[in-house]
């Protein structure tokens, strides 16, 4: 008899697992069940549908060869029976059946040999007064997408507030502001956008880019109520009231694991389904993955939670293989991500310094700036990377970066992400073998410079200062105990020295050894140049003279300007 | 007393090693010696200087902050004494000195504590009649660059022949043809361009792109003589005579290892200096690296030769660390490379299938085609990857690819290259964790599809046909034993079926299971669709019916068209 595979949830993990299972075992009966009428859609494309970069919602449901992925498609193209508008209400593990309820109210039970839980998540809705007002949206599925798009195309939305500065919030804010010219604000309760994903320095760079495009960003600010009559008209925070014709709530997700819990499957304290490295739950006949499950974080070794569509697809295939008798493995993840921020990429993998410290590592983040291509090549731009390393073991724990308008940033993040599970040391990043030709990289690529800077720091040769730290120091510059030594060419440095004669001095790096006696004594020195190379070399020159009470502005003035430090000078 | 470090050769490896050494030990006396007057230049930028993408030759000698890297720069900025126009003529290992001869004929000896040989290579000049004619150039240094640029700017060059279809030949041909509208031909003695670097299939794709831009490419063709009076006027091959006002010889390099050999240092049979993983030669006080040295190929475990500027830089830093008492390691390389082919990238790392077979592996190359970004995203293009795997062990031995106008291709190659030394299996590529968001990748990225296709092949589930094999089969289509089954939508397939009614049939994949009896019997079937997904799935449907004498056109019609298969139809 053919085996029966029942998959609950039909978006990313579920549909992938179902299709793969049928391919591996063409004899199997495969059911794909979803309570929604839309299945198999690219939810990740919703912000781009709103922005117009995806022209029609049907494209999010179509294959690359323009076939709509509806029930007929699953049946005819994939041999999978898709039951939409059908909720699974209970699992009977003993009897190996699930209970289903159709939209029309009819119910049934369906036997399974292997069951797959791909129930995903529900967007978190803050328990705020006014949350049920019209024009308050979450962004999770095509219903949301259609409803939001309809509103913005109507032209009645002049102002919008996005609650949450995570990746969905940022993408939605960009879509509303850039395409629809809606006056958009982001309110984030943490003190930075993309909390947990990137350092404060990189978050501030992204924030400035967003603000430069006219989107207002309010961090460390808590939404207290949504205000309006019928429809929302304003958002009240603990600091102000923002007018709003539309509110997008993008404050995270909660796993849909009621079914799993009721069935007595093991879940984490936060509610995610626990699976082993074959994606099996605590019941070996039940598999799970995607947004509703936790997998091992390959950096910490602990369970982690990575609600990513790419992850769901890869896990789905592993499950499809295994429910048909295979033994494919999914060892875990490091959480590679990327988000487009207007013409830039914000990306990363592994742990941030903050997360790594919280996980017990002795973590530090080293920041560097460099051109993404050969500096002599016609097209290029300065990009920024941060390497998170453990000071005790020199182990690389994560990498994050900002900048670059094409795939140059992911080209670097992708090179490090798959290595992280092998516990590389910083020297492995110094020697990382990227493909080099002037239109694509530098001979000593920024990724190698990043490893080198980290090794210099760990060797006690380099004392960098993060962009956040510089900004704080610059704010307090009038207190007089810090002195800025500018190692750039005099033409670049002199305007700064002229404007801040008490605290800023120009000694080009190629003159430093000869002019050592001009270096201010008894002050904490901050060494500066454009990207951090000359200021590092100046630090070595000072080290050699025993002058060590100084730091080098890590990502240079290029970094500080992108960050938003205001030097009060035009260029 | 301070240690004396003498570096012979001042381009990539030498200048990096010297600068790093001085940074690690500021007390050291560091000498950088080169017989040329130009040192520390970006040779990799020469083709882009010719093409105009680098506007002035001085940019190839300048830092990112526009400082010319001349003797003064090395002294003042780096604390390194650069002696240009100075040849090292002999090494006295006993006495630890080198003999030098200056341009003016004066000689001297210089003692060393540690010596670094960074003597690089000399371009190979074929022993051809006419090789000394005017306007016959090699491309190795700034003298060549200046001379070639002068000629092309004069406007007297109407036709050029590039001898050699390796990366320098291709870059030079593009520069001459694209920027200067010179009628350019490439003559390559092997049967493909980029021999040893990519498969015949990928080479043909690149070749077609080049030919579409008007450059003629002659493979399997041997240059026999350069013809002309005073200046070159033609190139005689074993098949034809090509008019030529300029000839670029780009047929490889020979190592400058006379000094090393005379000093009795160990060299490989091909003449490259042998070093250990600290970049030490057989004399522990003498280090070497860059183009004149061999390092371990991390895929084969044998000595390999990787004449790449990026490699020289990374090795240079390791040497700089070690000559000043450190113990940095350089374990070897996998040879990541990329070359821009007009608006596309041709890139790779590790072994090609041919090289892997020669090295004793049971190698196969699996080819896939997929969009570089989410197929529903507005900007995207189909790119092509090939994974080289060992059939016995499922180990991944290499990856190569073609396509994509930005860094999307290197973003994939870079993700695999650093892993190769860990001997990953194909499943590791299936689960490779690339950063995903629609503007940068696909949820199931092409890299994952590549691993999946390879695992399906190894599992006996998928029988792909390479593009080269398809082309050969298409050439012989009239012999009548092959039948083409087109699994695309009827609108795409019918024109082919109409044009080739005897051998081509349209059964869209979603109708195949129902129309199984229409599948031609007793013929070898070639299954086709646009990128290879539906034809693979059709193969599974046929497998299930026991019909296995069929192959799936691996990279689909998208691949075959890019390759240049002529279907005799407009679209
Ligand atoms: C706006 C947006 C942008 C995103 N961008 C990215 C990105 O750039 N990169 C990235 O990697 N990821 C991105 N994601 C995340 C990605 O979409 C999710 O990780 C992915 O959809 C998870 O797939 P899943 O199948 O696990 O769960 P889901 O997509 O949540 O699907 C679960 C399905 O299960 C159904 N279901 C639940 N319970 C039952 C039940 N009892 N009976 C029947 N059906 C049930 C639900 O109706 C739902 O259709 C984005 C998500 C959104 C919303
Ligand atoms: C046109 C072109 C394009 C390239 N493109 C790329 C690319 O895209 N990517 C990439 O990775 N690589 C590329 N390369 C290769 C890269 O330039 C080389 O790998 C790199 O220059 C090697 O550096 P090296 O220091 O080892 O040797 P070299 O650059 O060869 O320098 C050796 C130096 O040693 C000097 N010398 C030799 N013997 C003596 C002696 N006895 N006394 C004194 N001096 C001596 C020579 O004069 C020479 O200056 C390209 C090369 C060329 C020519
Ligand atoms: C598309 C979807 C229905 C899965 O169906 P699928 O049948 O696995 O579809 P795919 O086209 O990805 O893969 C089909 C097969 O072709 C193979 N394949 C893909 N590209 C190939 C190529 N170029 N050559 C050969 N085989 C290829 C795949 O490996 C797969 O086979 P396998 O799993 O047996 O190895 C499911 O992924 C889906 O619904 N996706 C949209 C939702 C989503 O992912 N949302 C979140 C992110 S936006
Ligand atoms: C430039 C050249 C002279 C080397 O000099 P160098 O002093 O090592 O120069 P770099 O600017 O690369 O590096 C200087 C230091 O700054 C460090 N650094 C680089 N970027 C940094 C950043 N953003 N922040 C902090 N430190 C940084 C480097 O790690 C290096 O220090 P380390 O080696 O002690 O770790 C040599 O590489 C050269 O001649 N290059 C051109 C020739 C060439 O490479 N040709 C072939 C390819 S086209
Ligand atoms: Ca940018
Ligand atoms: Ca292209």
Q: Write out residues with Cβ below 6 Å of ligand 1.
A: A 8-14, 33-36, 43-44, 46-47, 87-88, 118-121, 139-140, 168, 256, 259, 290-291, 307-310, 312; B 436-437
Strand, helix or coil for residue B355: helix
Cβ A410–B406 below 8 Å, yes or no? no
Q: How far is the CA of B550 from the centre of ligand 3 (A)?
A: 22
Best residue in B14, B348, B411, B424 for a mutation probing chain A (most A CBs within 10 Å): B411
Q: At what angle do helices A446-458 and B309-322 cross, to 10 degrees?
A: 10
Q: Tokens 């030098």 sit at which residue?
A: B100
pLDDT at A481: 87
Task: Give the CA count within 13 Å in the CB-facing half-sphere of B452.
Answer: 26
What pLDDT does B571 receive?
Answer: 58
- In the CATH scheme, what is the homologous superfamily, with its name and number, of domain B337-458? FAD/NAD(P)-binding domain (3.50.50.60)
Chain B interface disruption, residue of A329, A437, A460, most B CBs within 10 A: A437
Q: Please tell me if the domain spanning B4-41+50-120+254-322 has the same topology as the one spanning B136-251.
A: yes
A155 to chain B nearest CA, in Å? 23
**Cα A566–chain centre separation:** 27
Counting atoms of ligand 2 from 1, which one is nearest the CA of B88? 42
Contact B444 A313 (CB under 8 A): yes
Per-residue pLDDT of chain B (571 residues; tens, 9 = 90+): 799 999 999 999 999 999 999 999 999 999 999 999 999 999 999 999 999 999 999 999 999 999 999 999 999 999 999 999 999 999 999 999 999 999 999 999 999 999 999 999 999 999 999 999 999 999 999 999 999 999 999 999 999 999 999 999 999 999 999 999 999 999 999 999 999 999 999 999 999 999 999 999 999 999 999 999 999 999 999 999 999 999 999 999 999 999 999 999 999 999 999 999 999 999 999 999 999 999 999 999 999 999 999 999 999 999 999 999 999 999 999 999 999 999 999 999 999 999 999 999 999 999 999 999 999 999 999 999 999 999 999 999 999 999 998 999 999 999 999 999 999 999 999 999 999 999 999 999 999 999 999 999 999 999 999 999 999 999 999 877 899 999 999 999 999 999 999 999 999 999 999 999 999 988 999 999 999 999 999 999 999 999 999 999 999 999 999 999 999 997 5
Which atom, in ligand 4's list, is nearest to the CA of B320?
33
pTM of the model: 0.98
Q: Which residues from A are below 8 Å from B513, CB to CB?
A: 76, 79
A contacts of B441 (beta carbons < 8 Å): 310, 338, 410
Question: Quick one: CA torsion of B122, B127, B130, B136, rounded to 10 degrees?
Answer: -20
> Looking at domain B4-41+50-120+254-322, does it have CATH number 3.50.50.60?
yes
Searching chain B, which residue's CA lies closest to the CA of residue A417? B433
Nearest residue (by CA) to ligand 1, atom 9, is B437
Distance in Å, CA A405 to ligand 5 centroid: 5
Task: Quote helix, strand, coil % in chain A, to nearest 5.
Answer: 30, 25, 40
Cβ of A313 closer than 6 Å to ligand 3, yes or no, is yes
Which residues, in sequence order, are CB contacts of B336 under 8 Å at separation 6+? A433, A434, A435, A436, B310, B347, B348, B349, B413, B414, B417
**What pLDDT is attached to residue B392?**
98
Of B431, B385, B433, B387, whose CA–CA distance to B409 is shortest? B385
Question: Closest ligand to B375 CA?
Answer: 3
The reported pLDDT for the residue numbered A571 is 58
Full pLDDT tens readout for chain A, 571 residues: 799 999 999 999 999 999 999 999 999 999 999 999 999 999 999 999 999 999 999 999 999 999 999 999 999 999 999 999 999 999 999 999 999 999 999 999 999 999 999 999 999 999 999 999 999 999 999 999 999 999 999 999 999 999 999 999 999 999 999 989 999 999 999 999 999 999 999 999 999 999 999 999 999 999 999 999 999 999 999 999 999 999 999 999 999 999 999 999 999 999 999 999 999 999 999 999 999 999 999 999 999 999 999 999 999 999 999 999 999 999 999 999 999 999 999 999 999 999 999 999 999 999 999 999 999 999 999 999 999 999 999 999 999 999 998 999 999 999 999 999 999 999 999 999 999 999 999 999 999 999 999 999 999 999 999 999 999 999 999 877 899 999 999 999 999 999 999 999 999 999 999 999 999 988 999 999 999 999 999 999 999 999 999 999 999 999 999 999 999 997 5
The per-residue pLDDT for A478 is 85
pLDDT at residue B180, as a whole number: 92
Atom of ligand 1 nearest to the CA of A121: 30
Contact A418 B410 (CB under 8 A): no
Buried b (16+ CB within 10 A) or exposed e, B333-359: bbbbbbbbbeebbbbbbbbbbbbbbee
User: How do residues B451-461 score in pLDDT, each as one tens digit?
Assistant: 999 999 999 99
**Overall residue count recorded for chain A in this entry:** 571
pLDDT value for B442: 98
Beta bridge partners of A235: A226, A242
Q: Determine whether the interchain pair A313/B443 forms a contact, defined as Cβ–Cβ distance below 8 Å.
A: yes
Arch. (CATH architecture) of B136-251: 3-Layer(bba) Sandwich (3.50)
Calculate what percentage of chain B has a pLDDT beyond 70: 100
Which chain A residues have a beta carbon less than 8 Å from that of B15? none
Per the CB < 8 Å rule, is A42 touching B408?
no
Contact A431 B340 (CB under 8 A): no
In chain B, what residues touch A436 (CB-CB under 8 Å)?
44, 308-310, 336-338
Contacts of B402 in chain A (CB under 8 A): none
In 3D space, the residue among B435, B110, B377 whose CA is nearest the CA of residue A345 turns out to be B435
A345, A349, A513 ranked by CB distance to B440: nearest: A345
Ligand 2 pocket, residue B71 CB under 6 Å: no
Please give the pLDDT value at position B478: 85
Burial classification of residue B179, based on how many CB atoms lie within 10 Å of its CB (0-12 exposed, 13-18 middle, 19 or more buried): middle
Q: B334, B424, B431, B529: which to substitute to probe chain A, counting the most A Cβ within 10 Å?
A: B431
DSSP characters for A489-546?
-HHHHHHHHHHSTTTEEE--HHHHTTTGGGSPSSSEEEEE-SSSHHHHHHHHHHHHTT
Give the full edge-to-edge strand order of the sheet including B464-465. Answer: B464-465, B550-553, B524-528, B482-486, B504-506
DSSP 8-class letter at A13: H
CA–centroid distance, residue B19 to ligand 4 (Å): 8
| Number of residues in chain B | 571
* Exposure b/e, B122-135, CB count within 10 A at least 16 = b: ebeebebebeebeb
Q: Residue A419: closest CA among chain B residues belongs to which residue?
A: B419
With residues binned 3-state (H G I as helix, E B as strand, rest as coil), the percentages for chain B, rounded to 5, are: 30, 25, 40
| C-alpha span between B531 and A169 (Å, rounded) | 34
How far away is chain A from the Cα of B95, in angstroms, using its nearest Cα? Answer: 31
Number of A:B CB contacts under 8 A?
Answer: 303
Instruction: Output DSSP code: residue B560.
Output: H
**What residues are neighbours of ligand 5 (ion), with CB under 5 Å?**
A 343-344, 405
Q: Do B26 and A541 touch (CB under 8 A)?
A: yes
> How many angstroms away from the CA of A539 is the closest CA of chain B?
10
Residue B41 Cα to ligand 4 midpoint, Å, equals: 13
Q: Please state the atom number of ligand 2 nearest to the C-alpha of residue B316.
A: 25
Q: Per residue in B273-328, pLDDT tens?
A: 999 999 999 999 999 999 999 999 999 999 999 999 999 999 999 999 999 999 99
At A405 the pLDDT is: 86
Check if CATH label 1.10.3720.10 holds for domain A464-563: no
Position B479 scores a pLDDT of 79
pLDDT (0 to 100) of residue A1: 75
Distances (CA, A) of B180 to A46, A453, B158, B232: 45, 42, 9, 19
The residues facing B345 across adjacent strands are B340
Among the listed residues B25, B4, B278, the one whose alpha carbon sits nearest the alpha carbon of residue A461: B25
Domain ranges of chain B: 4-41+50-120+254-322, 136-251, 337-458, 464-563
Compare all CA atoms of chain A with the CA of B339 and give the residue at the minimum distance. Answer: A437
pLDDT for res B1: 75
Per CB-CB distance under 8 Å, the chain B contacts of A433 are: 310-311, 314, 333-336, 349, 417-418
Backbone torsions φ then ψ of A25, nearest 5 degrees: -125, 90
């Amino acid at each position: 008899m053919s085996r029966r595979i029942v998959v609950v949830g039909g978006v990313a993990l579920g549909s992938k697992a179902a299709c793969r299972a049928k391919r591996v075992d063409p004899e199997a009966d495969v059911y794909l069940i979803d309570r929604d009428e839309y299945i198999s859609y690219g939810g990740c494309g919703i912000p781009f549908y709103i922005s117009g970069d995806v022209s029609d919602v049907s494209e999010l449901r179509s294959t690359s060869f323009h076939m709509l992925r509806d029930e007929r498609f699953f049946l005819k193209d994939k041999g999978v029976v898709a039951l939409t508008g059908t909720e699974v209400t209970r699992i009977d593990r003993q009897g190996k059946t699930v209970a289903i309820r159709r939209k029309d109210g009819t119910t049934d039970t369906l036997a399974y040999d292997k069951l797959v839980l791909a129930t995903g998540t529900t967007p978190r809705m803050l328990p705020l007064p006014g949350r049920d007002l019209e024009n308050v949206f979450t962004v999770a599925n095509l219903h949301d997408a259609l409803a939001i798009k309809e509103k913005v195309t109507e032209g009645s939305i002049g102002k919008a507030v996005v609650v949450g500065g995570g990746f969905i919030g940022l993408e939605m804010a960009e879509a509303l502001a850039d395409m629809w010219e809606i006056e958009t604000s982001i309110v984030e309760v943490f003190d930075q956008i993309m909390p947990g994903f990137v350092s404060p320095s990189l978050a501030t760079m992204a924030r400035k880019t967003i603000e430069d495009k006219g989107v207002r960003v309010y961090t460390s600010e808590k939404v207290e109520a949504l205000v309006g009559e019928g429809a929302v008209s304003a958002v009240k925070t603990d600091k102000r009231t923002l007018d709003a014709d539309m509110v997008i709530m993008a404050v995270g997700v909660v796993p849909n694991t009621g079914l799993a819990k009721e069935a007595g499957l093991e879940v984490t304290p936060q509610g995610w389904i626990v699976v082993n490295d074959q994606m099996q739950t605590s019941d070996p006949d039940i598999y799970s993955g995607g947004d509703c499950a936790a997998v091992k974080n390959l950096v910490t070794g602990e369970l982690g939670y990575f609600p990513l569509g790419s992850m769901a697809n890869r896990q789905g295939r592993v499950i499809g293989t295994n429910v048909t008798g295979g033994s494919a493995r999914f060892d875990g993840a490091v959480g590679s991500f990327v988000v487009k921020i207007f013409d830039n990429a914000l990306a990363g993998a592994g742990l941030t310094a903050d997360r790594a410290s919280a996980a017990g590592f002795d973590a530090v983040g080293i920041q560097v700036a460099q051109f993404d291509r050969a500096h002599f090549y016609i097209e290029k731009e300065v990009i920024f990377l941060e390497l998170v390393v453990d000071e005790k073991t020199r182990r690389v724990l994560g990498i994050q970066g900002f900048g670059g308008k094409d795939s140059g940033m992911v080209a670097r993040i992708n090179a490090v992400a798959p290595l992280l599970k092998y516990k590389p040391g910083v020297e492995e990043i110094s020697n990382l073998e990227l493909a080099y030709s002037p239109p694509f990289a530098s001979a000593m690529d920024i990724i190698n410079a990043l490893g080198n800077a980290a090794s210099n720091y760990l060797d006690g040769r380099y004392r960098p200062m993060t962009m956040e730290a510089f900004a704080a120091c610059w704010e307090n510059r009038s207190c007089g105990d810090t002195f800025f030594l500018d190692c750039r060419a005099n033409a670049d440095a002199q305007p700064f020295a002229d404007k801040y004669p008490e605290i800023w001095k120009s000694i080009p790096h190629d003159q430093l050894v000869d002019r050592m006696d001009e270096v201010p004594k008894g002050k904490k020195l901050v060494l500066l140049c454009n990207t951090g190379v000359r200021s590092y070399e100046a630090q070595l020159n000072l080290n050699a003279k025993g002058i060590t009470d100084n730091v080098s502005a890590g990502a240079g003035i290029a970094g500080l300007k992108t960050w938003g430090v205001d030097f009060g000078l035009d260029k």
